[in-house]
């Protein structure tokens, strides 16, 4: 990382992947196992941050001997740089303002009743579309989603060939999402009746009900 090579006061640095801790780069004159320390303490910092709900992790600072290791998130990586202990991390971080920090997204959390409705819709798509007509039924699904309210539509969508919540729905909008998903189910079932007749549509809906038990 050329930008780190140009910052005065850095003894050495290591770059590791935030996903699996794989070492991507080690440079400088440090005699410390910077890569191992960066991988270990970046992971530990994330665990502590999440456990204590501390918000965004800006940097981790560890002192040892006469030096200090400062670990900062950068894109999908962690950068650990060693500096003299009497220097403050901010002295280096000032130079790193051009480096974007990692945004840690909270996992999508969906109430059970809404998750059940989404699962039902995905099963209906499977039943109605089979192997050969899935694209057609996804087109119909997207058609039904397009008429939902502005506060509902952006949060629901097709992700990797399945209907899914793209983000956690607000608690105060749960009823709105329930009604929206009911509308989607009714829309798909009506289209199934139109295209394959009531008997076949009813049989496929019953198959979905059996799968959900």
Between residues 25 and 94, the one the model is more confident about: 25
Reported pTM: 0.52
More confident residue, 3 or 139: 139
All domains of the chain, ordered by start, with CATH? Answer: 2-96 (3.30.450.30), 112-212 (no CATH)
pLDDT in tens, 168-210: 888 888 998 999 999 999 999 999 999 999 999 999 999 999 9
- At 109-129, the pLDDT tens digits run 899 999 999 999 999 999 999
DSSP string covering the chain, please?
-HHHHTSTT--EEEEEETTT--EEEEEES--S-HHHHHHHHHHHHHHHHHHTT------EEEEETTEEEEEEEETTEEEEEEEETTS-HHHHHGGGTTSPPP--PPPP---HHHHHHHHHHHHHHHHHHTTTSHHHHHHHHHHHHTTS-TTTGGGEEE-SSSEEESSPPPGGGHHHHHHHHHHHHHHHHHHHHHHH-HHHHHHHHHHHHHHH-
């Amino acid at each position: 990382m050329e930008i780190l090579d140009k910052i005065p006061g850095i003894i050495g640095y290591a770059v590791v992947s935030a996903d699996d801790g794989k070492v991507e780069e080690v440079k400088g004159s440090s005699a410390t196992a910077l890569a191992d320390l960066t991988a270990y303490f970046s992971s530990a910092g994330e665990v502590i941050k999440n456990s204590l709900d501390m918000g965004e992790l800006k940097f981790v600072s560890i002192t040892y001997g006469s030096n200090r290791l400062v670990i900062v998130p950068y894109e999908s990586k962690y950068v650990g740089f060693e500096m003299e202990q009497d220097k403050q991390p901010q002295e280096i971080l000032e130079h790193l303002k051009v480096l974007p920090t990692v945004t840690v997204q909270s996992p999508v959390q969906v109430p059970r009743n809404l998750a059940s409705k989404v699962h039902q819709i995905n099963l209906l798509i499977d039943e109605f579309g089979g192997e050969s007509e899935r694209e057609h039924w996804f087109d119909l699904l997207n058609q039904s989603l397009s008429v939902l309210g502005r506060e509902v539509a952006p949060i629901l969508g097709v992700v990797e060939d399945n209907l899914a919540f793209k983000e956690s729905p607000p608690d105060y909008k749960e009823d709105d999402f329930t009604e929206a998903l009911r509308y989607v189910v009714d829309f798909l079932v009506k289209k199934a009746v139109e295209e394959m007749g009531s008997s076949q549509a009813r049989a496929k809906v019953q198959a979905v009900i059996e799968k959900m038990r």
